[in-house]
Structure 1
């Protein structure tokens, strides 16, 4: 996964304790699946079952996105369709979206005619409208343009991917890759735990089974935490003065220094500046933001928002489409 750094090789596998792993399995089986518990087997999600395994970073095939030719034309700027891609874990009447004061299941309303000047977040919930299994995308819609992204800046909660199509044929996809959508949630969670160095071990545990928070959001990396110096010592070695939490959050003295904050998170700040934007050099040694690195590995085209300034060197999941026609958002488990 990532190059070795001190003490990592001794804990590459099994960072979750047996007790934690058991707790996760119990939580997955019991939490927030009212339909599955009450009704027995849940009908499979729409769309064909995957025929072959996909490689990391691969986009979904066209069949994953359904019949896009059937998406109704927008009366406003673009039509948004929400897809259930939970691999049969939740039926359509338990997959909810919320935007603009509306909350609907996709069984009730799978489409939204998005007007101009819409901005903010669209939230998605599994199980119930107020379920803790919840995540979001961000966007701004102009009179003739769409700008938006998936994000892991705060946390991972649900697998999300979005595809935006323009009237001129422009077509862009971002979010979790096809291989990640294919595997069970438990497998994704364990893969994250296995990939993390010891300092990041608590991320897979502290908000399980609902979220994997970003490192700047947990006590371990805050001032006074056991890993408070994890990034700050490296920053000082390259002439930058910021706390570990500020580095992960690109805040404080780094709020106005996008290149510097990105270089620290990717561990390239010690290199000449003309090498800071070379993705082949990112995350090759620690300390680094290995949380962000993991979601890049699991993203379509390896593009993800793992920290606030991840758009430096065009590595984020931001898309911009002029004269948009439709957008499809896939919600996974």
Structure 2
């Protein structure tokens, strides 16, 4: 479901993803491609189940320019340009930004780390979970979270995520400012239950908040 501010085909646009089965709702907010609008959603079911996911209240309360400035202030140098390349409309995910793609100045950001654990993929495939990583969600998540060098039993320990570079600090930012620190910052961010995905039977209503 797409949301537009200003005009129906304006550049201020974002979306949520969902499917509705015979008696179940499955859906999420997403930052896999980019941030464009502040989004949150609340699912309520007939059995009393009630859950909220998406950008947190503090993010909704601040001006759009403040969110862009906060992003630049909280991410390391390599990621700061994401807030300017498509400003003021979007903050693209690194896999969608020229700096992290072939020929870009940070195209090799993940290369050495990935090769140290036996993965030979360009940075854009790591942040986008593409190439050989498309079929290896655990490894892709571990590379983005900088846990791939640890024993595999520790890969999915949230206390160990993003503790050193290289890591997907774009994704980290949206986790830091997401409800219950859940966000879809890269395609396999649902590994270890870290994404903003919700699923429940007998849904009653869904409320979506859209912010500037």
TM-score bracket for this pair, using the shorter chain length: over 0.9
Look up the match of 1:253: 132
Deviation string for 1:242-283 (max 9, x for gaps)?
Answer: 110100000001000000000000000000000011001000
Structure exhibiting the larger radius of gyration computed from Cα positions: 1
> Once the 2 structures are TM-superposed, how far is the Cα of residue 199 of structure 1 from its aligned partner?
1.1
Look up the match of 2:13: 134
Look up the match of 2:119: 240
CA distance in 1: counterparts of 2:99 and 2:46, whole angstroms = 48
Structure showing the higher helix proportion among its residues: 2
Q: Which structure ranks higher in relative contact order (CA pairs < 8 Å, sequence separation ≥ 6)?
A: 2
Look up the match of 1:200: 79
Deviation string for 1:215-241 (max 9, x for gaps)?
Answer: 011111111211111001110011211
Q: Is the 8 A contact 2:42 2:53 kept in 1?
A: yes
SS, match of residue 135 in structure 2: coil
1:155-304 equivalence runs, <5 A: 155-304=34-183
SS, match of residue 69 in structure 2: helix
> Once the 2 structures are TM-superposed, how far is the Cα of residue 155 of structure 1 from its aligned partner?
0.2
CA distance in 1: counterparts of 2:145 and 2:9, whole angstroms = 35
Gap runs ≥5 in structure 1: 1-121
Look up the match of 1:152: 31
Gap runs ≥5 in structure 2: none
Aligned-residue RMSD, C-alpha: 0.6
Look up the match of 1:90: none
Q: For this pair of structures, how many residues does the alignment match?
A: 212
TM-score using structure 1 length: 0.63
